[in-house]
Amino acid sequence: MSIERAIRIMAGFFVMLSLALGVEGSPLFVSQWFLAFTAFIGANLFQSGFTGFCPPSFLLRKLGFKEEGTVCSR
């Protein structure tokens, strides 16, 4: 699996998890503060789109994920 694909999977998972934990109607509701984590993920995805800098790429590269493309290569 490539770094870019792993980052997309990870971001999607964390968005769904933080929404499940932060929306009052959810059976997994804990606190509305989990919505701040959703905003943090969105802000990171936004800046990554402009700069190409993805902080998780450093960790994934050290874990042995391969690089395909140049989106998260910085």
pLDDT in tens, 33-51: 999 999 999 999 999 999 9
- Rounded to an integer, the average pLDDT of 30-34 is 97
pTM exceeds cut of 0.75: yes
Q: What is the pLDDT of residue 67?
A: 85
Give the Cα separation of 73 and 53 in Å (integer). Answer: 7
Per-residue confidence band for 72, with pLDDT thresholds at 50, 70 and 90: low
Name the β-bridge partners of 66: 2
Position with higher pLDDT, 53 vs 38 = 38
Q: Is the pLDDT of residue 16 over 60?
A: yes
Residues paired with 8 in a beta bridge: none
Cα within 13 Å of Cα(72), Cβ side? 21
